[in-house]
Amino acid sequence: MIDIKLLQKDFEYVVTALQKKGVDNELLNNLKTLAINTKQKRQEMEDVTAEQNILSKEFGRYKKENLDIISLQENINNLKNKKQELEEEVRVLEEELNSIILGVPNMPDESVPNGVDENENVILEVLGIKPVFTFEPKEHWDLNNGWIDFERGVKIAKSRFAALRGDGARLERALINYMLDFNRERGFNEWYVPFMANSNTLLGTGQLPKFADDLFKIEGEDLYLIPTAEVSLTNLFNDEILEESELPMLLTSYTPCFRKEAGSAGRDTRGLIRQHQFDKVEMVAITTPEQSEEVFQKMVACASDLLTSLGLPHQKMQLCTGDLGFSAAVTIDLEVWLPGQNKYREISSISNTRDFQSRRAKIRYKDANKKNILTHTLNGSSLAVGRTLVAIMENYQNEDGSVSIPEVLKKYM
């Protein structure tokens, strides 16, 4: 959630930043009007309260000195009634303001390149050597190895579900274990978290209310299937005050993820790239503001080194302002090379949300002066397991449809 105080103090700065993310001007104008009205009404309420306090002190003096208190009492009562009216007006305005603000995205960092969409993202680095084949490489769904059964996945559930069998299922499990071990060696503390979350939890990391249509809701319960372990890991510390000595806090977890993909109709309808259920190993960090940039780079390096260890060519992509996610202030995507598709595809997205999520989830720490400060939160895939499986199938494919196993995974197989 953006800082309401900053909004009221320097509205033009906030507007300029949010316009880079494509926020509608009408929404911003409504936000400005409401923010100004709320600030003015709160000031009016505080002025009445201050006047009431002064007269209340006078009331004690009047009684002590046997002065006429009738007129004074009447003024105090009028101020009391006025204050109650203003408190209700402020409450209504602040509720309306908070309701709008919960749907407003984070402001991008000033370092983020301006751009309208993914076509204006910036390649930062290309790593690894693309494989050379003596045959025409196939896309993963055309490899004749029996690893993926799309038909039975659809029969069990519906479209965009798949079942893995045999060595495909074993490789999926091997990748999960390898990623968790890799992250633990980089200092991330492993967690096992619920695969469901309540509405307050999803509100804390920004999935609600904006992306309700993308979530699978449990009927009759205040529960949703999680779209990412970021939700669970970050909100472990919802409404808590941490000690500064505990930070930075590095967390990792494996979970299945569930997404309706409501906004991606018609995209990637074949294969494992865009499924309603997929496995992911997640990284989350909770830091002080001073630590967050260094930790951000550490998380990018961790995911990139993981791809390198698997022998998978990839590139680092700096997202422009128009392609940033709702909660992100800055994001670097990792895109893995898929020879069957002859293109790079996103396999990890690492974001620093600054204090945007912490303000929503009330995650704070106590500094050396015993002052409560909002933490910074960061998150990133390490990696999307199904897409890593796809990348291995396409980069390590053989002409007969079999797939060689990366050296680092052999002990897990």
Q: Which of 253, 304, 327, 349 is catalytic?
A: 349
Report the candidate in 14, 36, 38 with the shortest Cα–Cα distance to residue 25.
14
Of residues 102, 370, 375, the one with CA closest to residue 239? 375
Is 245 considered catalytic here?
no
Distance CA 26, CA 277 (A): 36
DSSP H or E segment with residue 6: helix 4-9
Distance CA 368, CA 245 (A): 10
Give 298-326 as a 3 state SS string: HHHHHHHHHHHHCCCCEEEEECCHHHCCC
Give the position of tokens 């995974």.
409
CB 183, CB 281: distance < 8 Å: yes
Out of 259, 345, 359, 364, which one is annotated catalytic?
A: 259
Give the pair of three-digit tokens for residue 204.
């804390």
Q: Active-site residue among 304, 381, 387, 394?
A: 387
> DSSP assignment of 16-43, as one string?
HHHHTTT--HHHHHHHHHHHHHHHHHHH
274 a catalytic residue:
yes
| Nearest-angstrom CA–CA distance, 336 and 314 | 4
Active-site entry in 51, 94, 261, 346: 346
Residue among 280, 161, 278 at smallest CA distance from 232: 280
Nearest-angstrom CA–CA distance, 111 and 108 = 8
Of 42, 170, 173, 274, the catalytic one is 274
Q: Give the DSSP H/E element, type plus range, for residue 343.
A: strand 343-352
The catalytic residue positions are 259, 274, 346, 349, 387
